[in-house]
Amino acid sequence: MREDTRRLRRMIRTGRARIRYATVSCRAGRWTITVTVEAADLHPARQHPPRPDTDSSGWVGVDRGLTALIVAADTTGRQVERVGDAPRPLRTALPRLRRLSRHVSRKQRGSRNRAEAVARLGRAHLRVANVRRHFLHEVANRLVKTHDRLVLEDLYTAGMLRNRRLAAAISDAGWADLARIIGYQQRWRGGQAISAPRWYPSTRMCSACRTVGPALPLSVRIFACDECGHTADRDVNAAINLAVWAEHHHAQTRDPEVRGPVTNASREDGPGQRPRAGETSPDDGGTPPPRTSVTAGTPEKGGVS
Ligand SMILES: [Zn+2]
């Protein structure tokens, strides 16, 4: 166990959490126990206050930026969040993993040296997975804590933009995972997370006059409108447009059926697993435990730490 289990133990003692399963596994020479916990609902004081159906405001658009991992902005044009770069271990992960796997192939088959090189490579992979998961949860947490309504760029559209500054480890599967984490965290907090449709031209549209211009080459960092002359950071402009889309289409997005891929969390994180055991106290909050993993090295699909 790596993380402090005090909170979990307190919740179990007071009957606000119940251990359902424990899985023991060994990965890259490290033993871990993953505990699946049924926990109480988040305390209302830590949830976003409910909004009436007629209220269409408060949306924050989250764009997978070209020069940043994410850029978030609201309908007034204010940038509310910008996560510039992945942590250093992630950025340097790929060259390091390539080097380590070269080491493996250079060693003689069946040799002790090779076994050691294989173990080193395995540990490096595990470390990258842990750093990555931790980072994505941190980013998601930051967004869902302060904003109850998030609209994300479509996964497919986001995938079209390759951000070369970020390690592939984070930029490829990163956005989909981030969207999934945001989705269930937001449900847990009583907020909303939706994704804009694929066809919505968030990058090409002017956030000032709503004119849709030609596609922007990847080299263009500043959006400039031919119609009204408005200029803005490319990513901020797109994030504003996402927020505006959500505000306009708010009525349709109330139906969970049309919420899009953001809410399609994996089964472990899905609403069916939502804890129903009373309520947490305000100091239980902070991390979302539909499943609480208290270990290092849980499989990517399995635990949520
Ligand atoms: Zn314009």
DSSP codes of every residue in the chain: --S--HHHHHHHHTTSEEEEEEEEEEETTEEEEEEEEEEPBPPGGGSPPP--TT----EEEEE--SSSSEEEEETTS-EEEEE----HHHHTHHHHHHHHHHHHHHSPTT-HHHHHHHHHHHHHHHHHHHHHHHHHHHHHHHHHHH-SEEEE--HHHHHHS--TTS-HHHHTTHHHHHHHHHHHHHHHTT-EEEE--TT--TTTB-TTT--B-PPPPTT--EEE-TTT--EEEHHHHHHHHHHHHHHHTHHHHTSGGGS-GGG---GGGSGGG---SSB--GGG-SS--SS---SSS--TTT---
Answer yes or no: 153 catalytic.
Answer: yes
CA dihedral 99, 105, 107, 112 (to 10 degrees): 90
Tell me the residue range of the domain where 24 lies: 1-41+275-305
Are residues 259 and 284 both part of a single domain?
no
Enumerate the β-bridge partners of residue 128: none
Please check whether residues 223 and 281 belong to one and the same domain: no
Closest by CA to 186, choosing from 130, 156, 250, 142, is 142
pLDDT on residue 155: 67
pLDDT at residue 267, as a whole number:
34
Q: Are residues 161 and 212 in the same domain?
A: yes
Q: 9 and 152: one domain?
A: no
- Asked if residue 104 belongs to a domain, the reply is no
Contact 127, 175 (CB under 8 A): no
How many angstroms separate the alpha carbon of residue 250 from the centre of ligand 1? 23
Instruction: Mark whether 68 and 183 lie in a shared domain.
Output: yes
Question: 253 C-alpha to center of ligand 1: Å?
Answer: 27
211 and 153, same structural domain? yes
In angstroms, what is the span from residue 116 Cα to ligand 1's centroid? 60
72 located within any domain: yes
- Number of residues written out for the chain: 305
Same domain, 66 and 158: yes
Q: What is the C-alpha to C-alpha distance for residues 56 and 74, in angstroms, rounded to an integer?
A: 13
Q: Is residue 121 part of a domain?
A: no
Distance 231 CA to ligand 1 centre (A): 8
C-beta separation of 216 from 223 below 8 A: yes
Measure 298 CA to ligand 1 centroid, in angstroms: 48
Question: 184 and 53 share a domain?
Answer: yes
Distance, in Å, from the CA atom of 44 to the CA atom of 231, rounded to the nearest integer, reads 41
> Is 41 among the catalytic positions?
no
- 80 in the same domain as 5: no
**pLDDT in the model for residue 305:** 35
Residue 53 counted as domain residue: yes
pLDDT at 295: 38
Choosing from 38, 74, 177, 235, the catalytic residue is 235
- 302 shares its domain with 190: no
Query: Catalytic residue among 38, 63, 247, 284, which?
Result: 63
What's the CA gap between 280 and 249, in Å, rounded? 34
Q: How far is the CA of 79 from the centre of ligand 1 (A)?
A: 18
**How far does the centroid of ligand 1 lie from the alpha carbon of residue 247, in Å?**
19
> Has residue 140 been placed in a domain?
yes
Closest CA to 220 of 230, 209, 211, 232: 232
Do residues 67 and 173 share a domain?
A: yes
Question: For residue 240, how far is its CA from the centre of ligand 1 (angstroms)?
Answer: 13
Query: Number of structural domains, the chain?
Result: 2
Q: Which of 74, 153, 269, 284 is catalytic?
A: 153
The answer to whether position 32 is within a domain reads yes
Is 63 a residue of the active site? yes
Q: Tell me whether residue 116 is in a domain.
A: no
The pLDDT value recorded for residue 150 is 96
pLDDT recorded at residue 256 = 43
Residues 141, 3: one domain?
no
Per-residue pLDDT of the chain (305 residues; tens, 9 = 90+): 556 788 889 989 999 899 998 999 887 777 888 888 888 888 888 899 988 878 889 999 999 877 788 899 999 999 999 988 777 777 788 888 889 999 999 999 999 999 999 999 998 888 888 888 888 889 999 999 999 999 998 866 555 555 554 445 455 567 788 888 999 889 889 999 999 988 899 999 999 999 999 988 878 889 999 999 999 999 999 999 999 999 998 766 554 433 444 433 333 333 333 333 344 544 444 444 444 434 333 333 333 33
